[in-house]
Amino acid sequence: MAERLAGKAVADAMKEELTKKVEEIKAKGITPKLGIIRVGARPDDLFYEGGAKKTCEAIGMAYEVFEYPADVDQESFEKAVTAVGDNTEVHGILMFAPLPKHLDERKIRSLIPVDKDVDCMTLGSAAKVFADDLTGFPPCTPTACMDILHHYNIPIKGKKCVVLGRSLVVGKPVAMLLLRENGTVTICHSRTENLPAVCADADILIAAVGRAKMVTADYVKAGQVVIDVGINEDPDNPGKYVGDVDYAACEPIVDKITPVPGGVGSVTTVVLCKQTIQACEMQNGLA
């Protein structure tokens, strides 16, 4: 039976540490603050926003939601995003994407200052992540994967790490973070040949493919660590969520595995707060 790498234990330990850090910063007269930019009211965005607010409250951070109607025009929204970026009380910005189709998302993303870009919305942040410049923030989900590996003392150096998925939000940045820690990294995608065999060769397998229960028993091996990033509606149980890994099939084989729900997703909002606190420290010369 595999060790279950629960996200809650990771999130709780991080929250304890961040609470102390926020107290230290507040003692210097500064309150770290997250600015959340939301257009419209998509249920997924509202759900994530609720989690982010709860985490901010739990660790004593401030937050403010900047909410705009779904039909906001490009010019007004550009002004609004620029104003949030210029607001010296806001240290980190989360902007929900995708934006409605009528907005030029590429242009709007570029208006977020890189030093406040705590979820890697800008090309400037992505460049820093790829260049190992530690002043650039990776997207929260890849950082959450790394925080889980660190919390459970899973060695990365020299290990074969296979990342299933090559999106800019998860696959590519998590591959860079594993490489930064001297993992030997392979990135797989929809054109990869012999995919199950490539995945089964990994010491650490990160599944970020967006396909419910795609990773079956033939993708894994004994001794492996499996991090499941996927959040998909369960085709067999509408209304319930499952990962990219078929947990029931893989759990008896591998050494360690994250559950869905209760794995990576439980850590991402804490990472959002952690990166906002780091941004606050950098902006105030405290880092």
Residues at the contact surface with ligand NAP, assessed by CB under 6 A: 141, 165-167, 169-171, 189-191, 195, 208-211, 229-232, 244, 264-265, 268
Pick the closer one to ligand NAP by CB: 136 or 171: 171
* Residue 126 burial (CB count, 10 A): 20
| CB-CB neighbours of 29 under 10 Å | 7
In angstroms, give the least distance from the CB of 51 to ligand NAP. Answer: 10
Q: Which of 188, 190, 240 is nearest to 212 (CA)?
A: 240
Nearer to ligand NAP, 189 or 240 (CB): 189
CA distance 231 to 213: 10
DSSP-derived letter for residue 245 is B
Our CB check for ligand NAP shows the closer of 165 and 259 to be: 165
Distance CA 149, CA 5 (A): 9
Of 128 and 172, the one with the shorter C-beta distance to ligand NAP is 172
Nearest distance, CB of residue 269 and ligand NAP, angstroms: 9
Least distance CB 285 / ligand NAP (angstroms): 31
The minimum distance between CB 44 and ligand NAP, in angstroms, equals 9
The residue among 72 and 264 lying less far from ligand NAP, judged by its C-beta, is 264
Shortest spacing between CB 79 and ligand NAP, in angstroms: 29
Given a contact cutoff of 8 angstroms between Cβ atoms, the answer to whether 256 and 5 are in contact is yes
Shorter beta-carbon distance to ligand NAP: residue 153 or 190: 190
Task: Report how far apart the first and last C-alpha atoms of the chain are (Å, whole number).
Answer: 42
Measured distance CA(254)–CA(240) in Å, rounded: 24
Give start and end residues of each alpha helix (H) in 110-260. 123-130, 140-151, 171-180, 195-200, 247-250
- Smaller CB separation from ligand NAP, 85 or 165: 165
C-beta of 192: minimal distance to ligand NAP in Å? Answer: 6
What is the number of the residue whose Cβ is closest to ligand NAP?
167
Q: Are 76 and 105 in contact (CB under 8 A)?
A: no
| H helices, E strands: number in the chain | 10, 11
Nearest to 249 by CA among 286, 284, 207, 221: 221
- Alpha carbons within 13 angstroms on the beta-carbon side of residue 64 total 13
Q: How far is the CB of 220 from ligand NAP (least distance, A)?
A: 15
